Structure 1
């Protein structure tokens, strides 16, 4: 990892720890090649909602580093992240996720997705599913479109 990028990641993480007041272990760096592989390095911001339930926001670090290289200040980047975290916290998705322990409140938002049992073995460890052959029928809760994405929880 190049030194400038590495310093940026560390500064970004430290700035977010200060700005969010998250505990040290709640903001972690994940390289693209680490399991599960992703299309880029990410900072994962985990916010405990209640016992055993976390909201996780993944920031693609390379995109933020590119903006930094193009003249954005670290302060502007942090402000933009905080603005988006606030938007997320007030979104229907996160409000509804607080009701996951009540079937009556979420039953209209539940749906099934199919996954290969072998290929997604690790992802299925904490999921609710039934198997038919090598197919897992996975229970998801999904909500509104938010910034061109459909949030879903399994």
Structure 2
């Protein structure tokens, strides 16, 4: 286990908040293919989650994953599939040019990476889009921190 994710792994072992499907992690080639299409490397903590846990489910929504490219066009939990749908909407591209969705719960919030700036570890900030108040604000400095906050918030 990678030391930087030990606390998160322990939380995932003891929570029923986030559900995932063991053995459904992404293959490295799938991640690389997604990164090639996106035009940038995904953050280290998201890559770690995608390879070790894959798809997650919380609060009626998917924590988006990197799926098998063969089935990507039919998987609404695939990060790249959702990104393609978003890019097809002109208003979306003009309003959120640096947005990459990572979690779309069944609620009045959506969560996404701000891909415009990386920190020194290569992480993107996870942003929250409050649909009711039409506000966007930082939620977590990394995907790993975001997952920990979700676990703590929904316990």
Give the TM-score of the pair, scaled to structure 2: 0.31
Give the TM-score of the pair, scaled to structure 1: 0.31
Higher RCO structure, 1 or 2 (CA under 8 Å, sep 6+) = 2
Larger radius of gyration: 1
